[in-house]
A and B are shown apart, each in its own frame.
Chain A
């Protein structure tokens, strides 16, 4: 079974530029998550999709971050404009069931973003 695919693996940009990350979940997984992990901290949930609908985006900074999951499969996360404090690893994860309740998450390899 193929894992969660993410790209790019690394990205370096200057502040105020825009950046986009892509994620392809495990086939058949209904729920997709984007987490932000700042160095030395645990992952923080940014947004959770069930199929192509948003379940939770309460911690997504909506003035600069956006995410979509077209057709309930692939997802993109965008930051525009980026700030220095956005430097982090962006992790995509997926789980099999609905709403993520009691479900096991499988993570992709992440995208390491450096904002200069």
Chain B
């Protein structure tokens, strides 16, 4: 089992719809979770982070954690073509020096 798993996609949604991205992780003790956005040919950019104590909303983005099932989700409301990118989930491995492990990323395509 990979430490952090994501469906590579592509996930295609129409403009204005809700995009739902998911990520599962293996380390039950993990306490911090990050979503990075990566445009083609660019470096990852942090867009959301949550800790084990709860969900978080920031503008059109909502990050949710399900500790029992060990998955994290990112919801993007009112999706825009500019949201088209690869979304990387990263999990801080509690049991291993705080190492940040990335999933392979999910490619999101928002069609006008």
- Interface footprint category on B: 20 to 34
Taken residue by residue from 41 to 80, chain B's Cβ proximity to chain A (1 for < 8 Å, 0 otherwise) reads as 0111110010100000000000000000000000000000
Q: Is B100 an interface residue (CB 8 A)?
A: yes
A110 at the binding interface (Cβ < 8 Å):
yes
User: Given A56-B99, A99-B97, A101-B98, A91–B44 Cβ distance below 8 Å?
Assistant: yes
For residue B98, which residues in chain A have a CB less than 8 angstroms away from its CB?
Answer: 99-103
Please tell me which one of the listed residues A56, A99, A101, A107 contacts residue B43 in the complex, with CB atoms under 8 A apart: A107
B92 within 8 A of A: yes
Q: Does A25 contact B (CB under 8 A)?
A: no
The contact size tier of chain A is 20 to 34
Q: B residues within 8 A CB of A102? A: 31-32, 51, 92, 98
Instruction: Give A56 to B101 CA distance when docked, in angstroms.
Output: 12
CB of B88 within 8 A of CB of A42, answer: yes
**Which of A14-22, A43-51, A63-71, A73-81 is near enough to bind chain B?**
A43-51
Question: Cβ of A43: which chain B residues have Cβ within 8 Å of it?
Answer: 44, 88, 102
Residues on B with beta carbons closer than 8 Å to the beta carbon of A101:
32, 92, 98
- Seen from chain B, the residues whose Cβ lies within 8 Å of a Cβ on chain A are 4, 6, 8, 31-32, 34, 42-46, 49, 51, 88, 90, 92, 96-105
